[in-house]
Amino acid sequence: MRVVIAGGHGKIALLLEHLLAGRGDQAVGLIRNPAQAADVRQAGAEAVVCDLEAASAGDVAALLSGAAAVVFAAGAGPGSGAARKDSVDRGASVLMAGAAERAGVRRFVQISSMGAGQPPRPGRDEVWAAYITAKTAAEDDLRSRDLDWTILRPGHLTDAPAAGRIRLAAPPVPAGSVPRADVAAVIAALLDEPGTRHQTLELTGGDSPIAAAVRSIS
Ligand SMILES: NC(=O)c1ccc[n+]([C@@H]2O[C@H](COP(=O)([O-])OP(=O)(O)OC[C@H]3O[C@@H](n4cnc5c(N)ncnc54)[C@H](OP(=O)(O)O)[C@@H]3O)[C@@H](O)[C@H]2O)c1
C-alpha cells in the first residue's frame, strides 16, 4: 500500500515510515526542506519536496496519484506562533484533505491532539489557544468530507521507547502521555482497519496491546 505522509520528517512520521517500510508498504514523506530527504530515505520512505503552506490542492493531488492512504502528521511545532498554527495545523490539513478528495484517495488518518473539539481551556496562553482552535477546525473540515477519515488525538507526546500498550477510545479519555513510537504503531494499525473510519479517537498510554485496542474499536 502506498501511503503519503504530510510532514514526512516529523518525529512520528519518521517512526511510521520505518514501520511501514518494514511491513512492505511504500511510504512517501512530504517535506518542505530538501536537506531532510536523506533522513526520510533512511527511514525507508520516498522523500518528496512539497511545502504545504505554499502548494495548491492541484499540486498535492498530483502527488497523491496511486496512493491508498494519506496520513496527516505535520504540525507547526514548538516555538511557532499563532499564525503558523493556523497555516499548518489547520491549513495544511485542509489542503491535504481536499487533495485526497480530488485524487480519489479515500483513507485519511489525521493526527490531531487531545484538547481539540472543545474551546481552549481558560488560563492557557494565546498560542495554545490558536493551536487548539486550528486542530478543531482541521477536524471539523475533515468530518465534512466524503473520505474514510479517522481522527487520532494523542495526549502529551514523549520520545520514550514504544511501550506497546495503550488506551484508545472515543472521547473523553483521561489526560495522559504516550510515546511517539506507540502513536506511529497505532496509525499503522489504523491503516489496516477500515472499520475505524468516521471515528474520533483519543490515545494515551494504557494496558491494551495496540492490535487488540484497534480491533476492539473497529
Ligand atoms: N507535542 C505534543 O505533545 C503533541 C500532542 C498531541 C498531538 N501533537 C501533534 O502530533 C503531530 C506530530 O507530532 P510530532 O512530534 O511528530 O511533530 P514534529 O516532529 O514537530 O513534526 C511536524 C512536521 O511537520 C512539518 N511541517 C511543518 N510545516 C510544514 C510545511 N509547510 N510543509 C511540509 N511539512 C511541514 C515539519 O517540518 P519542518 O522540519 O520543515 O518544520 C515537521 O517535520 C503534530 O500535528 C502535533 O501537533 C503533538
pLDDT along the chain (218 residues), means of 10: 98 99 98 98 98 97 98 97 98 98 98 96 90 98 98 98 98 98 98 95 98 95
What pLDDT sits at residue 86? Answer: 98
What is the 73 CA–ligand 1 centroid distance (Å)?
6
Which atom belonging to ligand 1 lies closest to the Cα atom of 88?
28
**Ligand 1 binding residues, C-beta < 6 A:** 7, 9-13, 30, 32-33, 51-53, 73-77, 88-89, 92, 111, 113, 154, 156-157, 180
How many of the other CB atoms lie within 10 Å of CB of 169?
17
Mutate to test the pocket of ligand 1, among 48, 113, 133 (most ligand atoms within 8 A of CB): 113
DSSP E strands, the chain = 2-6, 26-31, 46-49, 69-72, 107-111, 114-117, 148-154, 156-158, 165-169, 177-179, 199-205, 208-209
In angstroms, the CA 11 to CA 74 distance is 10
Provide Rg for the chain, Cα atoms. Answer: 16
- Predicted TM-score (pTM) above 0.85: yes
What pLDDT sits at residue 123? Answer: 82
What pLDDT sits at residue 218? Answer: 87
What pLDDT sits at residue 23? Answer: 97
What is the 31 CA–ligand 1 centroid distance (Å)?
11
The x, y and z cell numbers of residue 192, run together, are 489496516
Mutate to test the pocket of ligand 1, among 63, 96, 111, 132 (most ligand atoms within 8 A of CB): 111
In angstroms, the CA 98 to CA 202 distance is 24
What pLDDT sits at residue 121? Answer: 82
Name the residue at shortest CA distance from atom 46 of ligand 1: 75
